[in-house]
Amino acid sequence: MTAAPILSVREAARHYRSGDSIVKALDGVSLDVNAGELVAILGPSGSGKSTLLLIAGLLEPPTEGEVRIRGTLVSKAGEELGRLRDFRRRNIGFVFQKANLIPFLTASENVALAMEIDDVPARDARRHAERLLAGLGLGHRAGNRPTKLSGGEQQRVAIARALANDPTLILADEPTAALDGARGRQVIALFRQIADTRGAGIVVVTHDPRSLDLFDRTIELTDGRVIGERSGPVRIPAR
């Protein structure tokens, strides 16, 4: 095991000033994610999970610490991240609680857009988008606009969009929060499959303990610190 991890966050801290006091949203967190690994981040509300994802996703610089992607130092304290948009587009896929699809585009257009803005020719982008959607069981929905899709379907379109440019790292912030248990598990299962087949490193913030058996590793945050880390899937005891 000599290959650098896909994502490596070192001693990352993020402080927000609110009035006179300073909120330590993140207080020295380290996290490594390897190719093909599916990692869960757990923790109560306000524990810094989203902040960690923003920093790992190069959307915010840490106040302290650094972020490496495949061994390259890409973000550290005080970094101006606007210039990393191209890097983000090619290397990182995001999924959020809300699908945030563009309402005037169909499912396949939403996915194809992510490729077109990366200069993939329109026709190739469309074909690949349809293939991705079909792979996620949405082939018959490719031509529908978001308002015609259920919440679970919208979220799967968002996942297809995150996959569009074949990123090595996928970050998902509570992607199942708006879904019922069964559909939530379907989404996590999808991530499991993506990690296995594509070898992407995937970090998922989740509250749902029922799907934890699908993860390779679980990290628990409280007050901006890692308070627990468990390796290996949490097996649900066989009946």
Partner 1 sequence: MNLAFKDVKFNFPRFLLTMAGVGFLIMASTGMVGLYRGIVEDALLVVDRIGADLWVVQGGRAGPFSESSAVPADMDRRVEGIAGVSSVRRFVQVSQQFDFEGRDLRASITGLDFPKDRGEWVQLQEGRYLNAGHFEAIADESIGLALGDQVRLGQDDYRIVGMTRGMVDASGDGLMFVTVNDAMAIARRRTSEEVLLARAAAGKTAAADASESSVPQDSKIAAVLVTLDKGADEDRVRTNVLSWGDANILSRADQRDLLLNQRLWRLRLQILAFTGVLLVVMAIVISLIIYMLTMEKLHQIAMLKLIGARNGVIVTMIAQQSFLIGGGALVLGLAMSKLVFPFFPRRVVIDPSDFAGLALAVGAVCTFASLLGIWRALKIRAQEVLS
Question: Using the 8-state DSSP alphabet, how is residue 109 labeled?
Answer: H
CB 61 to ligand ADP: min, Å: 13
The answer to the question of residue 35 lying near ligand ADP (CB under 6 A) is no
Residue 48 binding: pick among partner 1, ligand ADP, Mg ion, none (C-beta 5-8 Å cut-off by kind): ligand ADP
Phi, psi of 81 (to 5 degrees): -95, -5
The answer to the question of residue 212 lying near ligand ADP (CB under 6 A) is no
The answer to the question of residue 43 lying near ligand ADP (CB under 6 A) is yes
The answer to the question of residue 47 lying near ligand ADP (CB under 6 A) is yes
CB 172 to Mg ion: min, Å: 11
Pairing of strands 64-69, 72-76: antiparallel
Alpha-helical runs (H) found in 139-180 = 151-163
Phi, psi of 230 (to 5 degrees): -125, 125
Q: Which CB atom, from 104 or from 140, has the smaller least distance to partner 1?
A: 104
| Binding site residues, partner 1, CB under 8 A | 50, 54, 59-60, 85-86, 88-90, 94, 96, 100, 102-105, 109, 112-114, 116-118, 122, 145, 161, 173
* Among the residue ranges 18-26, 29-37, 80-88, 108-116, the one whose residues contact ligand ADP (CB under 6 A): 18-26
Report helix, strand or coil for 195: helix
C-beta of residue 29 within 8 angstroms of C-beta of residue 52: yes
CB 41 to Mg ion: min, Å: 10
Q: Which CB atom, from 50 or from 176, has the smaller least distance to Mg ion?
A: 50
CB 16 to ligand ADP: min, Å: 3
Q: Which CB atom, from 93 or from 224, has the smaller least distance to partner 1?
A: 93
Question: Using the 8-state DSSP alphabet, how is residue 167 labeled?
Answer: -
* Among the residue ranges 47-55, 72-80, 81-89, 113-121, the one whose residues contact ligand ADP (CB under 6 A): 47-55
Non-local (6+) Cβ contacts of 167 within 8 A are: 90, 91, 92, 93, 200
**Secondary structure (DSSP) of 77-94:** TT---GGGHHHHHHHEEE
Residue 47 binding: pick among ligand ADP, Mg ion, partner 1, none (C-beta 5-8 Å cut-off by kind): ligand ADP
Q: Which of 8, 34, 47, 50 forms a contact with Mg ion (CB under 5 A)?
A: 50
69 C-beta neighbours (distance < 10 Å), count: 25
The answer to the question of residue 206 lying near ligand ADP (CB under 6 A) is no
Pairing of strands 21-33, 169-173: unpaired
Torsional sign, CA 67, 207, 192, 120 = negative
C-beta of residue 171 within 8 angstroms of C-beta of residue 148: no
